Every structure is written in structure tokens, then in C-alpha cells.
Structure 1
Amino acid sequence: MSESLRQQFSVHWQTSTADNNLTLHGFRRFKTTHLLNLRFLEAEIAELDHVIYQAGLSLDIEPSAADRLGLKHSKKDKDTPDVDEVITRDLVLKLRGLLQQYDEALIAFNHVMSMDTFSLIDDEKQSSLRSELTLYEIYKTRLLRVDQAPRLRQDNFQRWIHKGLRALRYWRLNKRSQGDGDKERLGSPNAKGEWSYQSTTLISDVISRLVMATVTAAFIVVPLVLLSGEANKGVQLAVISACIVVFSFIVTVLLRASNLEMMVVSAAYAAILAVFVSNAPNAPSAVSSQP
């Protein structure tokens, strides 16, 4: 076994037998490399696509009435290729292979981008094994959680918390490394042999749920408290209208809710306040005094 392979095996063995799920199931996603591969495939298919279109235009077949592809406005090359020379079995096989690779790569990349990620800086043990990366590169490197199912959605508020936790950890580690006089050192295990980890996905999920539960409760309790002693219908309608507008705005901005979900939530919130107003006492009528 060569020295390089022995060293790689030593690193891979440590990450593959780790006790923490971040180290055990964290893999790089290579976003830029995936995109480059898709662009190369796209460019190769685009060249063949141009040749095929030019061959088709050289047939001088009248486009259909609707002309959905806009063939009437397509520009022919000066040297139009001969169909018999261009459309060959080799071209068909090459096109078929490229399209298969392209489609599979698109689907795979879409699946990869839907998986939960965390920053390499959240896993200090795995970060310490990547000596070729600077602290900032480690902070910017995203790892995939291959042990979890792809996420269907991620709320904007949860994503902001996730980013904030990563930035805070980077700031703390950067400050600690500057204090130690070595910006590239990521520390070492404590006296018990334990490394530092930060499960930002779990933390951000818990925090976002608690905050949204608090905000929802506040938007229900506060209007009820304000309107409990208010009998003027005009003031009641003004407070309710303002609460509904603000609540709908928060749901739209902070949560990744669909249009239908946003309408249902806003309507349900408006119905709760409307029921309270309908049961509220009316303004006392003026009593005329007898002389």
C-alpha cells in the first residue's frame, strides 16, 4: 500500500467509524463541480442541437400553422449542411448518450440540492482533517446529511437562523484561533477526547418553531386583550384589519407557504378575530335624562 493511499485510508477510517452523525454521514456536495459538469454537457448538446436544426431547415418544409417553435424566424447558416452527411447513426448514438447523461445529471443535482446541509465548520473533527483548507474555506464548504430524507421545503426564517448560527460559530473559532496565534488551527478534542459539534439544522428548527409559536400566540392574545374593553365597532374593525394585514405579511415573508396555504391561514386568523368581535358587547347607548 502506497503512503498516499495509507494516509487516505487513515482519514477515511476515522470519519467512517466516528460516533457523531455529522462526521459519520457528512459528505461534500461539490456544487460548483456539479454545475460545471452540467454546463459542459449543455454546451456539447447545444452544438448537436444547432446542427440538427440547420439540417431540418435545409429540408425547406413549410412550418405548421401555429409554428410553436418559431421556425419561420429561424436563421439559416450560409453553408447549410447536407442532411445525409449530418444525420448519421453515429450522431444519433452520440446525442442519445449525451441526453441520457444530461438528464440523469439534472435529476441527480436537483436531488442533491434538496438534501439537508451543514457547514464543515460545524464538525470540528472533520474540519481538523482538512488541513488543505483555510478556516474561511471550511466555513463556506457545505456537507450533505446523507442519513436524512430530502427536505420538501425550508422556511426563510429557519434558513436565516441556520446562516446566523454558522456565522456565529465561524466568528468564535476565528477569534479563538487569533488568540492562539494560529488562524488555521481548529482546535483539538477536550480532556475527555470529545470534539466540538454544532447541529445547526436541529437548533434552527427548534428555535424557528418556538419563535413562530410565540408570534402566533401573540397575534391571537394581543388583539383579544386590546379589544376586550373596547366597545367601539370602528376601533375594533381598525385593530382587526391591522392585525390581519400584518399577520398575513409575516406568514408570506418568513414562511415558505404556498399561495393557497397563505390564504387559508389568513382566513382562519380573520375568522378567529371575527368571532370574538361578534360576541363582544356593543357600545352603551346614551340614556336621555328626564327633567
Structure 2
Amino acid sequence: MSLILSSTERFLSEFHDQRAGITSKAFMALPAVKGGKAAASSYEFLVDVVPKASMPLTVLDVACGDGYLLELVTLSRSKTATLIGVDISRGELTAAEHRLGQDATLIKGRAQEMTLPTGSVDIVLCHMALMLMDDLELVIAEIRRVLKPGGLFSFIVGAKPESSNAQNLYIQILRTARQNLNSTIPRLGDKRLEGDVQIEQLLAGGFANVAIDEISISRRYSPLEMWSWFESMYDLHGIPDAMRESMKREYINTLSVTCDSDGFVGFTDNLRQVTAVAG
């Protein structure tokens, strides 16, 4: 049976069908720091909440994409966990099938209504997707439903980045381009995941022991590398190729003037990891 998707979900599904693996590629090579601890990427901080002992575990990745996070979970444990991935994009699930083979059960479905038994999952993970979902209360309630009492829910969402020439220039050029177009991009993001108090309120009904940690991702890129990274985001989708190429030239030429003597520019992203226990 085909899924009935909202306009936002259709946009996200089509985007990821065409660009399977784009999110993992964007974040897997970005070293991250949380509480003074360095990791190879922000994905590693989600893997850290999964016990490494040989006890049997069922781990669910909501909006699993191409299965990169589930693969990291498998590699981190002495005994393979029962892995489940849910995603609305067939393209991403096909990529996950190639990556994981028979090691995971992959389900095409919405996070608001998962076809999983109540109390069947030990740990639910979600990387850079929860803030994009419709009906957030329903998503959280559904995650609580499938979790066992005492199970863990850990997710990473974006936070406000530090002001920088690289970010400010990109926003300026993007805003100018959108003024000349009827944008095909729906409004994405639930503002309630931008503040600690709102996050705690969202989780209050079914979760306890809520912990919120800041993650910092800093890197130094050339202007071309910086633009290439921004191209992996949703913002530029639907902008005609000729206009995107013009935006790219303007971005690189303008940012180059502000680079350090080595030709690179610093840029810091901030993320937020939330971990809670199912009550």
C-alpha cells in the first residue's frame, strides 16, 4: 500500500530519492566535539548510547537514510544487534539495502505510524531528521510506543550556527535568489526543537531523564569546498541550474576576498543531541 504523504514529506522523499546518501556524505567526514570529547563525526555520539556488551538489542533508526548509522552500530558491538530502519524514501532504502544486506530490516514508512509492535525496541536513534518531520507530537508518541519501558531515545538536530562570513554570505545570496523565484521548498523545521525548554516539554509525556548536549563541528574549507557542502542541503533544490551556477560564482568570488592567507575560511556548525529514557 502506498504511503499518503504531506507536501513536506513528498518534497523530502523526492529529494532523497534523487540524492540517496547525501546526508551521510555531508556529515560522515566532519569531526565533531561534545563536552570536550572528539569524535570522527556526529554519528559517533549516537552510536555511543548503544551498549557495547554482547546482550541482545533491537535498535531502530528513524529516517535511516542509506543505513550509515546502522552500519556504525553493527561495527561498534561485539554481538550484532537486531537492526531496523524506517524511511519514507525508496531511494534511500535501496541504498541502505546495498550497504547492510540482510543485516537489517528496512521499512518504507512514516515515523508517525510505524508498523512495529508496541514495546519491541530497546533503542531509537535519529540523526538530523526529527526537526524536519510533520506532527512532531505524533512522531514522539509513536517512538515511545515502540520502545520498551526504560528504552533509550537519542536524536541529533541542528542548532543555530555561529555567525561567520561563510554562513552569512550563503544566506544573503540564497535570499536574493528566492526573491526572484517562486520557491518549491516547503517550510522545513519545527522551531520547538531549537530550545531546551521546548524539547523537554515535547518529551515530558512519555520520557524521563532528558539530557541535552551541544555538539560543535568546526572545519576549514576553501570557498569551493564550502559551497559544495551547502549544495548537499535542501535550500538550493528547485533553483534552476543557470541561477545556481551564477550563485556559486558569486559566492566563491566574494568569499575568497575574506579567506585567510592559506586560502581557507573557518566555519562552525552547532548541533544538539538529546537523550531520554522511556517512562
- For this structure pair, what is the TM-score category when the shorter chain's length is used for normalisation? under 0.3
Higher helix residue share: 1
**Bigger share in strand:** 2
TM-score by length of 2: 0.22
TM-score after normalising by structure 1: 0.21
